[in-house]
A and B are shown apart, each in its own frame.
Chain A
Amino acid sequence: MADTKSMQIENKQVDKKKTKSHRITFGIIYLVLAAFIWIVFVNGTDTSILTTFNMTPGGSSAYMDDWIFPTASTLSTLAFICAIAGAYQIIRGFGKFTNGILALVAGIFIFSFLSWASSGGSINLAGLLRVTVVRAVPLTLGAMAGMLCERSGTVNIAIEGMMLTSAFVSTVIASLTNLWIGMLAGVLTGGLIAWIHGVLTIKYKVDHTISGTVINIFATGITSFLSSKFLQKTDYQYLNEPGMFPQIDIPVLSKIPFVGPILFSHNMYVYAMFLLVPFLTVMLFSTRWGLRLRSVGEHPKAADTLGINVIKTRYMAVILGGMMAGFAGTYFTLGSSGRFDELLTAGRGFIALAAMLFGNYHPVGAMGAGLLFGFFDSLSAKASILKVPIPSDFLGMMPYLATIVVLAGVVGRSQAPAAAGKSYDKESL
């Protein structure tokens, strides 16, 4: 008894030490960023140079004037704010606002980078943010798919494979019938593959990561196989013409300058994301259904004792997650490119997993992380337009680098459900 108490105290001291070193590390990072903005960005630009941010995306009717400001003086102000934040962080710390300040400093840095990269010219800020929202869709949906599985105790790294397969199936079915049936077929495909994942992990107790990898290899193989056998042949081109979901402008809201075109002038996938995030939040955290699902992932034995069917709940959660991943997969073809190409998901399924971890297994967090990664994605796509002396390959690395930095725990380690990755065995203790 006394032992545990002293251990607890010891742990607390260790924690305190940790937070202190954490605090100082962050403070130093802020100072370094401030110095970076000052030395690299401000020193390289002439005081008379202006930066122009276009506030209207191309083709939008909701017009807003361009935002023009002098580059050097704005940047020095921002560097100053960063430096103050860093100094205060080292001396006092921001307490419970730490994460908010971190986001602020990161935002300032990115903003400075953009102003510097487009100094003397212009950059379409509204267009950049609009694409960010679009790119966030598969990541957010994929992250929520992983979340459904993992909250119930099944690790699912097969999101990528599920997306890829459902993208393929939805393309073919939509080409033969119509968009909605194609999308439905994609969703069902995701569910079917998830069911296989469930059988392997829940029934046969295969290691979850290995089962996921098998599904990824299989999905890559089968979609490439069928694609090069049929979709790439001229005789079968009609199978690869599914069309795309049209853009729907929400009345009134889409007319708001700046915000309207960014948020309310998309195809149905973006709106689906906006609706699914709060819906899933409520379902997971405020209903009996959600409580049961989470209990099975945290402590299956206890849930079992209370009469919850662990196996059934896990199957349900995994299949629902797979359907969500399938829905995300159909975005790539029916919502973005309008045709299927081999390996078109390009690792988005894995970035979605990182978004899930970063979002701390919460739908809102997942969307935040999805938007962040979406921003980097959007930025790397815009790299060629920027007058940056950075090769496009390096900007292309940014989503992946950001994922690593996030996972390595700059923001602290996320809490995985306790039983995630452990197959449930009724007999064992």
Chain B
Amino acid sequence: MENQKQTQNKPSGIAVFFDELSKSSGMVTFLAILTGILIAGLLVALTTVEVYDAFSISFWSGIKEALRTAWNTYSSLFIGAFGDPKKIAAAFQGGDGLEIRRAINPFFESLVQTTPFIFGGLSVALGFRVGLFNIGAEGQLFIGAMTSVYAGYAITGLPAYIHIPLALLAGAAGGAAWGFVPGYLKAKTGAHEVIITIMMNYIAFKLSDFMLRGPMKDPNEYTPKTPWIQESAQLTRLFPDTIRFHIGFFIALGVAYFVYWLLFKTTWGFELRTVGSNPNGARYAGINTTKATVVAMSLAGSLAGLAGANEVLGLNYRLVPSFTSGYGFDSIALALLGKNHPLGVVLSALLFGFLRNGSRQMQLKSGVPIDIVSILQALILTFIAAPAIIRSIYRLKKPDHEEETIKVGSWGGN
């Protein structure tokens, strides 16, 4: 093929560039995100009453109003995620420290939102690499938050450099325990992890409700809340007040690198990936698939548990019942978007974090419900999972090599 290309009339550099571009999977990812944004924008316009009012005046004013609505939505999303450029410029000219921090806060707040996504995405991605679908990240996150907050308030008199790692470890251990159960059941009985982890989620929610109203309740409060964690367990914040950015973000990056190293640079990680890509071959090669399944689910659980720990130790400093974060579910889309690679996970976690933070501002300013983000995520995920759709919409060329698709085993345990 390539020889032919070269001998025939030599294509110009730009043509080759576009040719390669249209075959690359990065292009598909980019177009998947773009298409998702377009469709979600259309949905926002279609569910806005003003647009229909404008259409009743004339067709063009309707189109104009629809575009204006979509533009307003996305611009308030952008400002919510990155901060208002005008405000930032004005604040820097003014030179007042507090004003500057307020202006740049949205950007750092987005990073704060990104952090649990990195942990959660790594959790799901690790599962996928071993052929396991961890829908239970949400429940593991809850349990992790619970155990770490306990370690945070019950243990006293430790210096921060011991207490913080200890509380984080407690969170990881809690999540690991919650991941171990489906892993063990999958390995020993063949019960499919998808349903087991979903059931574990509901049990985790009920359990945390019980704990907050019973054993872990702060006796000085009327409503179910845990006590505040010790100051020595709080993740250090890097800026003075109003900016909540804390070291959790860097811990997440470190953990991402660790997962990368584990999966791609160690024999053990190679074994795990072999189990994921070819379980029968792995068994034939003498890899203990039972152990791999159990360990992978526990590890995935501990990563999700860290996401929960990060939230309570870095932001809330206590556990409240309305801790329903949705991070665990969003992490599924995120891991797939990042092609289950730690670096991809970090990048898509950034995208999701900025989207999530921006969407709050969007809800306040333009009245578009925050749920539009999960619609957007579902759309993007659909196009990522079925690249053929994107390729046929944009008339992209087929890649030379087979595209990697994700496969999750069926019920029968195969």
Contacts and interface: CB of A to CB of B under 8 A. Distances in A.
Interface of A: 155, 157, 200, 204-211, 213-215, 217-218, 220-222, 224-226, 228-230, 347, 350, 353-354, 357, 391, 393-394, 396-397, 400-401, 403-404, 407-409, 413-416, 418, 420-422
Contacts of B210: 391, 393-394
Interface in B162-214: 185, 189-192, 194-196, 198-200, 202-203, 206-207, 209-210, 213-214
Interface centre among A218, A225, A391, A422 (most CB of B within 10 A): A225
A214 B214 contact: no
Contacts of B43: 225
A396 B411 contact: no
Contacts, number: 149
A400 B329 CA distance: 19
A229 B369 contact: yes
Contacts of B233: none
A391 B386 CA distance: 46
Nearest to B191: A407
Interface of A: prevailing SS? helix
Contact of A211 (B195, B385, B410): B385
Nearest to B381: A214
B11 to A, nearest CB: 31
B203 A397 contact: yes
B194 A209 contact: yes
Given A211-B385, A222-B371, A397-B202, 4 more contacts: A214-B381, A214-B382, A221-B371, A347-B198
Q: How large is the interface on B (under 10, 10 to 19, 20 to 34, 35 or more residues)?
A: 35 or more
Contacts of B368: 229
5 contacts: A213-B133, A214-B381, A217-B378, A350-B195, A416-B410
B412 A225 contact: no
B139 to A, nearest CB: 10
A325 to B, nearest CB: 16
Given A155-B411, A394-B206, A220 B374 contact: yes
B43 to A, nearest CB: 8
B408 interface: yes
B192 A407 contact: yes
B156 interface: no
Interface of B: 43, 47, 133, 135, 185, 189-192, 194-196, 198-200, 202-203, 206-207, 209-210, 213-214, 329, 332-333, 336, 368-369, 371-379, 381-382, 385-386, 388-389, 405-413
The 10 closest A-B pairs by CB, nearest first: A421-B410, A221-B374, A218-B378, A393-B210, A225-B371, A221-B375, A204-B386, A407-B191, A224-B371, A217-B378
B191 A213 contact: no
A47 B41 CA distance: 70
Interface centre among A157, A214, A409, A415 (most CB of B within 10 A): A214
Contacts of A206: 385-386, 405
A414 to B, nearest CB: 8
Contacts of A415: 412
A347 B202 contact: yes
Contact of B405 (A207, A396, A420): A207
Contacts of B412: 415-416, 418, 420
A224 B189 contact: no
Interface centre among A155, A211, A353, A408 (most CB of B within 10 A): A408
A416 B336 contact: no
A210 B336 contact: yes
Contacts of B408: 207, 209-210
Contacts of B409: 421
